[in-house]
Amino acid sequence: MRVGVIGLGIMGAPMAMHLHRAGLLAAVYNRTKSKAEPFEKLGVYVASSPADLAQRVDVVIIMVSDAPDVEQALFGSRGVVEGAKPGLVVVDMSTNSPEWARRFAERLAQYGVKFLDAPVTGGQKGAIEGTLTIMVGGDEELFQKLLPVFKAFGKTVVHVGPVGYGQAMKLVNQIVIALNTIAMVEGLRLAKALGLDIDKVAQVLFSGAAKSGSIELYLPKLLKGDLSPGFKAAHLKKDLAYAMEIANKLNISLPGAALALELYKKMVERGLGELGIHALSEIY
């Protein structure tokens, strides 16, 4: 399979690099062309547009910020559909919502293009190390066909149901990440107020029942004062907004997620959205 990647940011670039090492990467595209230069030096074709990329590959992976960006890459001027041939597969690995995923699938089907929604979790560290967890919604036979692609940069790859279920699973995941991060930040705040040895606090949190992916990924960065993003606060705020929109439609109460959304909204309002999600400590 010839794979093309649209979006070479914090996550997309290392994922594309793993595909290159696996001999699967045929083309890349990024709106800021400088981000494609490392791939051009490796002999990977740098497309002039999503349409140009689509003409050259069998599978298009999209890893951009939000649903409108996906929509633009697919259906905008010189979008994927302008270069698509019947049988092309589009895999949206961005995070948005089940509703957007189903909408993309329906519109792409009109062009004979197949679709999977396959968001990931594991942050920048997981992308660099090739250990991402991937949640895939869509046709199971197509999922099985694309397993070699997913396994190039993923350690755990799970088919979770039909189109839209990948995004649904990711939103569940994001709520848990957000609440784990709040717990970590507030625990550290109390520990510092009590005068506890923070290194010993970390030792306990890394080994006891409180340990979590958030603690493993972000506590070391917090202790060093490193607030750079492995996953941007603005993106988590966006994901939580999608989750709460669905919760409201279903008329279910998610008070923890509602609190998390308000806290991450405050981060963005204070100009901290480009920092990592663990920089939530700054608004305290």
* pLDDT (tens digit per residue) in 69-104: 999 999 999 999 999 999 999 999 999 999 999 999
Mind listing the domains of the chain with CATH numbers?
Answer: 3-162 (3.40.50.720), 168-283 (1.10.1040.10)
Q: Is 179 exposed, middle or buried (0-12, 13-18, 19+ CB in 10 A)?
A: middle
Mean pLDDT of 39-59: 98
DSSP string, 234-261: HHHHHHHHHHHHHHHHHT---HHHHHHH
Query: What single-letter amino acid sits at 270?
Result: R
% the chain with pLDDT above 90: 98
Predicted confidence at residue 231, as pLDDT, reads: 92
DSSP string, 219-241: HHHHHHT----SSBHHHHHHHHH
Predicted confidence at residue 182, as pLDDT, reads: 97
In sequence order, the 6+-apart residues with CB closer than 8 A to the CB of 159 are 136, 137, 140, 143
Mean pLDDT of 130-152: 98
* pLDDT (tens digit per residue) in 191-233: 999 999 999 999 999 999 999 988 999 999 999 999 999 899 9
Point out the residues that are catalytic.
170
* pLDDT (tens digit per residue) in 155-197: 999 999 999 999 999 999 999 999 999 999 999 999 999 999 9
- What mean pLDDT is reported for the chain? 97
